[in-house]
Structure 1
């Protein structure tokens, strides 16, 4: 929608009834892009409202989440069509305020997930080392840590060589601050006081945070505009087109990962019951009701039948219900695996981030024919740089929180 080719095709489909243009003639489909993202976001908000309070697949509304794909696609397409009838003034407010705030929430959510993944990976390796006493897991933990630090250092050197020339103050500051922050967090993670309050903290988590934040910084300097000749990747036509395509792919993959990972996890917002299997199992997905609970339920039904408070066929119907649930592979008949409403709210936040990322003004000189650059603005570059700094801050707080608030943490 941000390219002249797409705008001409869209105007042709609408028989030239709607002209997609700005008064200055510079935005080339900004409103069309905003309308499509708004329609998808509205679609997820509607589903979030319809599915609010669904706690198991026994609720008839659960079918809206797990089925009715044809009608849902038709509703989404209808919302896209109707969005083109909304005045442009609405999208100026929506894009500049609502989408921007929602996009910031999505970025913060992604950073929290990254820090959680870093701790989860290191703790999983330590548990495997303790339980299996295998040297292989030690090699995996130490090797991955050294590998991530090596990759971080390599990317830092590459950035200094190619993106930190004379006059490139922004790049020099971003690269240097990132280097200092990942060195600082590494030292904090092995600090004796931190280790005393959280023995599971270590260099493995710091290495994962370092490589991710270094990647963010490298992505920021490699996708900035080249008006100061600080980005050699966009000077030649070949690398110019390649950087546009790679930037789009990396952006969409990152958004897809963050969205699906966040949406299918409760993050303290999902169902409140304890639905996990014992720790010895390979995963935390519920496939059936625990045997002990089923036995207690069956015993309670038998006693109720003997006392006359329930009819005799209650035992038969309960057994048929459990057999049918097991036969159809329904592992949400007792409790959903994730909160359906939160699932769609997070997808709404993702659409807001995409709209904000694409909606930031792109210089016409950056337009590469029918390719619309994604994230090649100083705004997008600074968002990535500051996101890396926030990620370091979040990770450092997870290290210092047990020291500052020892009563709220128990690692015994």
Structure 2
């Protein structure tokens, strides 16, 4: 939220109005201008704040490696010492704003790209898990009751997802391709359309249905819709403005080739950034719910099923119910992976708020670059591959339990 505030338009102008605060701003007698307002607002502030968050969580991820139970002395750091932890975070954040410009932003951009790519993979795993769980629950509800609304709901959402995905493909061809240009976009859209058709057909094959009874078109439709979102998100990072019209230009018929009044300004409220943050919040919430139910996410975090979730209190001799330490034998989740996940999330938020734009140290602006395009497209292909694997794995390994 602080990063969002610091990239609001006009924030730097307002800060410069504070007497004696910004370098080159208004002054008052006896005060020196020590603060470079170019650094504490705009994309530079986002990079520095997320750098501090990433370092903070990486530090604790390293400290919490192989913590098995609450008997480990390091477990106290996870569950207590909040004042000192916030103090450390504030200290790292303040120190981050004193990092010289140099090549910091360029180097940290590539850290953000790699970390965000890994985080997108985690999002994809959660999305696939959500799709399978959704279909399984609704099918079981329909089969165990006489209420056919469950089947109607499945069909409605499946149709809605496919309709939105097909609409997206049409709009992509219309607005993000040119007859004599945008070859990459044509390839991206066509490939992902073909891949989505393939996974949809595979999901309803008799052999797949026999080995994976809960596979169906609902999952394929949701994955297809997400694939189209990632495709669109990738195309919006193409530096070729002829192939990447802004939504503002589409609505107001303004030429997308006109230069921006402020090329260094980051518009985090673009549709791409808003949708990205919504998906991020959804996946974070879903991860929390799945973790609390001690299922798939705990397997991802390499914890034992059913361990560490006592959740019940102990009545003492005085008749008072007291909390029970339910992690004396095994922790309920991996502390180290928890912090590593938040470390990656910090990088993902950094890239999302800056629309995956790369800092240009010569012009002090933010420029679109092809690496962001390829990272997103490769993540969409990997996501389709992961979903396809969940369909065919029971056929390849019939002796394994994939429940």
TM-score normalised by the chain length of structure 1 = 0.71
Structure ID, larger Rg: 1
Aligned position for 1:401: 393
Cα distance in 2 for residues equivalent to 1:59 and 1:322: 29
Structure 1 residue aligned with 2:241: 227
Aligned counterpart in structure 2 of residue 268 of structure 1, from 300, 316, 319: 300
Equivalent-residue separation in structure 2 for 1:344 and 1:203 (angstroms):
35
Aligned to 2:261: none
Q: Deviations over 1:121-175 (max 9, x none)?
A: 1112222223334312222222221221122112222222322332232222222
Given that residues 32 and 84 in structure 1 are in contact (C-alpha distance below 8 angstroms), is that contact kept between their aligned partners in structure 2?
yes
**CA distance, structure 1, for counterparts of residue 62 and residue 162 of structure 2:** 44
Partner of 1:77: 90
Please, which of 358, 369, 373 is the counterpart of residue 361 of structure 1? Answer: 358
Give the corresponding residue for 1:250.
Answer: 275
SS of residue matched to 2:234: helix
What is the CA-CA distance between 1:193 and the residue it aligns to?
Answer: 1.9
2:262 maps to none
Structure 1 residue 345: Cα displacement: 0.9
Asked if the contact 1:223–1:243 (Cα under 8 Å) also holds between the matched residues in 2, the reply is: no
Equivalent of 1:112 in 120, 125, 145: 125
Determine the structure 1 residue equivalent to 2:311: 287
8 Å contact 1:362–1:377 — kept in the other structure? Answer: no
Q: Hey, what's the Cα distance between the residues in 2 that align with 1:73 and 1:165?
A: 51
Q: 2 CA distance for matches of 1:383 and 1:410?
A: 30
- 334-343 or 12-21: bigger deviation: 12-21
Task: Give the unaligned 5+ runs of structure 1.
Answer: 23-27, 277-284, 290-317
Q: Contact 1:95 / 1:356 at 8 angstroms: preserved in 2? A: no
Structure 2 equivalent of residue 203 of structure 1 = 217
Aligned pair 1:102/2:99, yes or no? no
Deviates more, 1:398-407 or 1:233-242: 233-242
Q: For 2:318 and 2:398, locate their aligned partners in 1 and report how far apart those are by CA, in whole Å.
A: 45
Q: Which residue of 1 aligns with 2:316?
A: 320
Contact 1:43–1:79 (8 Å) recurs in 2? yes
Offset of residue 339 of structure 1: 2.5
2:113–2:375 Cα contact (<8 Å) kept: no
SS at match of 1:128: helix
d(CA) in 1 for partners of 2:186 and 2:73?
A: 57
Match of 1:45 among 58, 76, 85: 58
Q: Is the 8 A contact 1:31 1:91 kept in 2?
A: no
1:376 offset after TM fit, Å? 5.5
| 8 Å CA contact retained: 2:21, 2:35 | no
Matches of 2:12 and 2:284 in 1, distance apart?
Answer: 29
TM-score (norm 2): 0.73
**Structure 2, unaligned runs of 5 or more:** 1-5, 24-31, 257-265, 292-296
Which of 184, 191, 198 matches 1:184? 198
For the Cα contact (< 8 Å) 2:106–2:358, is it kept in 1? no
Whole-Å separation in 2 of the counterparts to 1:173 and 1:409: 38
Count of aligned pairs = 363
> Match for residue 297 of structure 1?
none
